[in-house]
Structure 1
Amino acid sequence: MNVWLTDGRSEQFGDPSGNLKEFNFEDGEHFTSLSLFPNQEGKRLGAIKFKTSHSREFYAAMINFTLQPEVPVDVASGICMGIKGRSGLDIDRLGFIFINTVKSAQLINVVYPTISKVIPKVAVGEIKSMFYQNNTSETQEFTIETSKKITQISSWSVKGKTESTFSLEVSAGIPLLVREESRYELNIGVEGTYASETSEEKTELSTCPVKVPAGKTVDVRIALGRATVDLPFTGIIKITCYNGSVLECKTSGIYKGVAYSDEKIVVNESNKMLGAA
């Protein structure tokens, strides 16, 4: 039996013989039941059978050998961390290492290693534009008000889709879109606590005072930048079990989100009066 783990390690138990049976776990898939069968003498592994959270089954057994009754294995959370065994030509012993039933899971110590090198592709959309004309001999003051509904989206997808195995709480800063003079860049916001997939809809309200000198026309344009963010991240998965045990392991994944910049206000002043020839 050959076993491959998600971290790249592998192990072989016994020598290959007979027909090959293979099972590849999908992202987020875990055990829901597992049984091992001793051979007739009770000295070797005779068969293995399991079911998964994706409603799939696997069964492999020694050919032309009588088996003893199956021995159910407590799979706890269903998340297998490794396998132990002893073998020569045959498999003499085999055991699975599972995480106990999970009480909570957190993604912590999140770092975006490439964020400083990313040049975001920003789509700038105009929210509002106004023309103000002052044909008097004194400066006039106006206030322009804007309202824009936006939806900020964030998701952290962990390698192996851990977030689909159980509810994952994320403690991290969200990448924000920031306008610096003539360019945009990504900065990390204040750390907060989020679900692994989060969406926040809000309405951005703002007011902008406008001064129009005597005999002048002022053109005011207000725009908002929007960027799709796709960043690799590293972090630590902290799993707390109902028996009080805590497991921490390094992980990595991809952050995806939609970020918005602050409003950009452009004011152009001219001598041309509206309606003038």
Structure 2
Amino acid sequence: MVGGTGGYKTSFITPSISSIKKIRIHYEEEVLPYISVVQTSMTPHISKFKAIQVFFSAGYEITIGDTSTGKIREFLFADDDQIVSAKLWPNKNKDRVRGLEFVVAKSNGARRTFSIKAKDVGSPVTVDVKSGKCYGIVARFANEIDQLGFYFI
């Protein structure tokens, strides 16, 4: 798990026959000025994760946090996908979640990466993905995702 101890704690575990099908991250952006010798521009950067929704193959789903505002990024898993690595990033104070990455092996041997990170992150934490089958999630949240972890078998 990555992040702090603030907010409300929740966890969700499906039967082991179920696996993750889709992750939807709700996030906010902030616009930061970018100044170069030639020009000044305003560049949007992810500032916080507001919510995470996880959908499982047996029809289970969980929503953690506030999905009413912000932008959305989504990652879909095929039935035969295997998660081969996962990383989570805290912020530099280690009290909020600021990044998530999954590397997935497809049935044809190809690999696909889903990654979403804020501009300023702390050191990554590697998640033990065991067999590569994710069947649950644990989190703390209030006005953003404070802590995040996944259950693997």
Scaled by the length of structure 1, the TM-score of the pair is 0.34
1:71 match: 125
| Structure 1: stretches of 5+ with no match in the other structure | 100-277
1:114 match: none
Alignment of 1:32-111 (within 5 A): 32-54=84-106, 55-62=111-118, 65-99=119-153
Deviation string for 1:20-76 (max 9, x for gaps)? 2111110111210000000122101101011001211101123xx410011111101
Contact 1:85/1:94, CA 8 A, preserved across alignment = yes
1:6 is aligned to 2:62 = no
- The separation in 2 between residues aligned to 1:78 and 1:30, in whole angstroms, is 5
- The separation in 2 between residues aligned to 1:94 and 1:75, in whole angstroms, is 14
1:27 match: 79
Q: What secondary structure does 2:74 align onto?
A: coil
Note the aligned Cα RMSD (angstroms).
Answer: 1.3
| Structure 2: stretches of 5+ with no match in the other structure | 1-51
Q: What secondary structure does 2:73 align onto?
A: coil
- The separation in 1 between residues aligned to 2:97 and 2:127, in whole angstroms, is 14
Deviation string for 1:168-189 (max 9, x for gaps)? xxxxxxxxxxxxxxxxxxxxxx
- The separation in 2 between residues aligned to 1:68 and 1:15, in whole angstroms, is 24
Aligned residues: 97
Scaled by the length of structure 2, the TM-score of the pair is 0.59
Letter in 2 for 1:67: V
Q: Which has the higher contact order (CA 8 A, sep 6+)?
A: 2
Kindly name which structure, 1 or 2, has the bigger radius of gyration based on alpha carbons.
1
2:4 match: none
